[in-house]
Structure 1
Amino acid sequence: MGEFDAIRPYDDAEVPAVLARLLSDPAFLDILTHYRFPRAASLFGWLLKPLIARKLRQQFAGVSCVSTLQDKVEYYVDRTIDKATDGVTYTGVEQLKSGTPYLFFANHRDIVMDPAFVNYAVYHAGLPTPRIAIGDNLLQKPFVSDMMRLNKSFIVHRSLTGRREKLAAYQQLSAYINHSIREDGASIWIAQAEGRAKDGDDRTESAILKMFHMSRKDEPFGAVIQSLNLIPVTISYEYDPCDLAKARELYIRATTGSYTKAPGEDDKSIALGITGYKGRVHIHFAPPVTTYHDDTKQLAQAIDQQILAGYRLFPVHYLAYAMWADKDDSLQVPSAEQVFPRDELDKAKAQWQSRLDACPAEQRPYLVLQYATPVRNQYQVKRQSDVLG
């Protein structure tokens, strides 16, 4: 057994056997049937499932490597993006060099779509897609694990409780990320924090930066980071399909002190995040971090500045900020009317009002918070830049 076999993505030689297993998995076929035929699945699932399995086997016949599989899957990704967004744009992708592996270090709002949108930008730039870090808490079902590891995902063990086990898992993760970039020449995508930023406040967890260094402790921290070609990435959604669920969770946490997920809640979040309406989406790739940083605190601050400055603010963000009880008037944030044309703003006002109407009154401050926080963060970065510049 290889050093990283327990966490690494599947390699080319494993693809045919894993595909065959996946396309015979009743749970996987059941989910596909309900997604493709939501009304007929309950009554006619027994008939539809074998038909879907047969069609998929025909479509994926002859697929014997990961890159060919991704070429096939790209059609479905593009179709999902077309249905669930008003378009995807990206900036900074032109600086990525063929043959250079990167550590894509991104803000985290959606479990599946964050890395999918980075993949989308990189794939359409004609570059190899990165390997994706995914928490084992999302891999409860065998078919989910198979599906993600076929698509270049590697496992981050988050459910471990023992201190020694956690330390060993982080050591292995650190070694794998460094090996992937320095030995395999394969890029990595990982989120800047373990959980999604449900309050809209994108901040880098220093523990993740510390993890990158764990397997190379005999080298200076700054030199290790420089060797990984770390690129801060900002993913901006005009609308978050899970915003009402996040507002509810934030409200319950604030009023009771804790929140317990219901059975199947992660599955629902994943499905809604993929299929729900997002409006416009923008992905920004900042320049690689080349400055030498002595410690994680310094580096986290530098990354946060890049990620927050790279956020694409849409009309809804300014509308939410204007009604936010905690807005900072000293930041001199312009009104939405000063920034956006009338027709764009009218559409955004209608969409924003429908979201407010769908949110229980006591939870609305937490809905506003999600959309207003990126505005505050970006204008704080701008003010800091103006002071320094």
Structure 2
Amino acid sequence: MVSDTDLFKDIRPYRDDEVAGAIQRLIRDDEFIGAIAKYRFSTLSGIGGSFIKALIRLYLSWRWRKLDSIRQIQLEVASYMEKMIARTTSEVSYSGLEQLNPDEGYLFISNHRDIALDPAFVNWGLHTNGLDTVRIAIGDNLLRKPCAAELMKLNKSFIVKRSAKGPREMMKAFSELSAYLRHSLDDNHSIWIAQKEGRAKDGNDKTDPAILKMFYMEGKRQKIPFGDYIKSLNLVPVSISYEYDPGDLAKARELYAKATHGAYEKGEFEDVQSIVQGIIGQKGRVHVSFGQPVRGDFENADQLAAAIDQQIHANYHLFPSNLLAAGQRVEGDASEALAFEQHMARIPAELKELVLSMYARPVLNKGQ
């Protein structure tokens, strides 16, 4: 049997024997060290830049000296995650975890609000409940910097080749991806993938049938009927809801630019800035709901997408911010309404309706 090292080397995450080399490359990467210096020591990095960078390299060499497996990397990530949760959330809760079997691999397909945090909060729930973490689908548009690729592949991320051009190249890339998903699930490794390419900037969570057709490419190659193959994937819809989206203002600006100018020109490293904003921004409460494995008899991707959407919408946890944005009253504590008013007061006037619509949309979807 050919190992996944040979079959999927250009898209798969790193394995244990590749961890030490990746860590050394990160520590030697000037851009990576410079980014840490700028983020953690912004007032000092310009004065004693080279000295600060040398100290960071020494610290990371010491901190990461014993990391030689993906499991240890995951525990290191968990320690950072714990600190981020303490600093930027008031509560993180979960539902549906009890129905997951630790001995099975699942294909988690979730709504997409934040580039890094969506899979991170899924992983946190799995990790704190004794389940293995997921392999994360990530677009190659986020890997323009070598250090970003190193970090993502160390954190169990595999690459979706969105930059593939032309029908033949795209078909090859998606066939490889479909086969990798099948391979991972057969080895009881769970997968996280977003329900569509890009975040739902308007708050409307909709599954792209093209993603589901990609799932099926390996089944089609094996001449397995669509419905039968989908049942074998252990497909579980996941709803992630943030009381306050740290990226709501940036998303509204993009939507406003498209509405008023017909287009929006994304900055070269805007995705990285979005990741940082998501991590450091205040989120209030966060809830992650794991749905039921999809078991229906589906004839095509459109039917399957509708079933996934139904679960994601029904299981979406509505916070007072959602209800207030939709014009509904929130019973009880008046501080909820005050907090939402204060949040909206920071939004420029021309963007208020877009942000309100963003928070209100899950309420409308749930009611349909």
Aligned to 2:352: 364
For residue 206 of structure 1, what is the amino acid of its counterpart?
P
3-state secondary structure, aligned to 1:41: coil
- Paired with 2:268 and 2:47, the residues of 1 have a C-alpha distance of 24
- 1:237 maps to 2:228: no
Identity %: 48
3-state secondary structure, aligned to 2:236: strand
3-state secondary structure, aligned to 1:86: strand
Aligned to 2:329: 336
Aligned to 1:385: none
- Paired with 1:34 and 1:68, the residues of 2 have a C-alpha distance of 27
3-state secondary structure, aligned to 2:28: coil
Aligned to 1:378: 366
Question: Structure 2 residue aligned with 1:296, among 297, 301, 323?
Answer: 301
Q: 1:161 to 1:351 in 2, by over 3 A?
A: farther
Aligned to 1:307: 312
3-state secondary structure, aligned to 1:132: strand
Gaps of 5+ in 1: 323-334, 381-389
Deviation at 1:356, TM superposition (A): 2.6
- Paired with 1:77 and 1:39, the residues of 2 have a C-alpha distance of 25
- Paired with 1:280 and 1:247, the residues of 2 have a C-alpha distance of 21
Question: Structure 2 residue aligned with 1:150, among 150, 154, 157?
Answer: 154
- Paired with 1:5 and 1:131, the residues of 2 have a C-alpha distance of 15
- Paired with 2:46 and 2:124, the residues of 1 have a C-alpha distance of 33
- 1:36 maps to 2:24: no
- Paired with 2:96 and 2:61, the residues of 1 have a C-alpha distance of 38
Deviation at 1:113, TM superposition (A): 0.4
- Which region of structure 1 is more displaced relative to structure 2, 159-168 or 2-11? 159-168
Deviation at 1:336, TM superposition (A): 2.4
Q: Deviations over 1:252-294 (max 9, x none)?
A: 1111211111232222111101110111000000011122211
For residue 123 of structure 2, what is the amino acid of its counterpart?
N
- Paired with 1:233 and 1:15, the residues of 2 have a C-alpha distance of 30
For residue 341 of structure 2, what is the amino acid of its counterpart?
Q
Alignment of 1:1-389 (within 5 A): 2-182=6-186, 184-217=187-220, 218-322=223-327, 335-337=328-330, 340-342=331-333, 345-346=334-335, 348-380=336-368
3-state secondary structure, aligned to 1:246: helix
- Paired with 1:19 and 1:350, the residues of 2 have a C-alpha distance of 46
3-state secondary structure, aligned to 2:202: coil
- Paired with 1:255 and 1:147, the residues of 2 have a C-alpha distance of 37
- Paired with 2:36 and 2:48, the residues of 1 have a C-alpha distance of 13
Q: Deviations over 1:206-248 (max 9, x none)?
A: 0000101112201011111111101100000000001011111
3-state secondary structure, aligned to 2:192: strand
- Paired with 1:158 and 1:351, the residues of 2 have a C-alpha distance of 39
- Paired with 2:282 and 2:72, the residues of 1 have a C-alpha distance of 29
For residue 86 of structure 1, what is the amino acid of its counterpart?
S
- Paired with 1:105 and 1:193, the residues of 2 have a C-alpha distance of 9
- Paired with 1:85 and 1:46, the residues of 2 have a C-alpha distance of 34
Deviation at 1:363, TM superposition (A): 1.8
TM-score (structure 2 length as normaliser): 0.96
- Paired with 2:234 and 2:366, the residues of 1 have a C-alpha distance of 24
Q: 1:72 to 1:262 in 2, by over 3 A?
A: closer
Deviation at 1:98, TM superposition (A): 1.4
For residue 121 of structure 2, what is the amino acid of its counterpart?
F
Q: Deviations over 1:65-105 (max 9, x none)?
A: 10011112211111011111112100111111111000011
C-alpha root-mean-square deviation of aligned residues, in Å? 1.2
- Paired with 1:144 and 1:86, the residues of 2 have a C-alpha distance of 29
For residue 272 of structure 2, what is the amino acid of its counterpart?
D
For residue 329 of structure 2, what is the amino acid of its counterpart?
A
Gaps of 5+ in 2: none
